[in-house]
Amino acid sequence: MIGLTHYLLLGTVVFCIGLFGVLSKRNAIAVLMSVELMLNAVNINFVAINKFITPNDVTGQLFSIFVIVVAAAEVAVGLALIISIYRHRKSVDLNDFNLLKW
Q: Which residues contact other proteins (rule: CB under 8 A)?
A: 4, 8, 11, 15, 18-19, 22-24, 28, 31-32, 35, 38-39, 41-42, 45-46, 49, 53-54, 59-60, 62-63, 66-67, 70, 73-74, 77-78, 81-82, 84-85, 88-89, 94-95, 97-102
Closer CB to other proteins, 1 or 44, in the complex: 44
Which of 37, 102, 47 minimizes the C-alpha distance to 75? 37
Q: 38: which residues sit within 8 A by CB, 6+ positions away?
A: 14, 15, 18, 19, 22
Cβ count near 14 (within 10 Å): 19
Closer CB to other proteins, 6 or 81, in the complex: 81
Instruction: Name the β-bridge partners of 27.
Output: 93
Closer CB to other proteins, 1 or 88, in the complex: 88
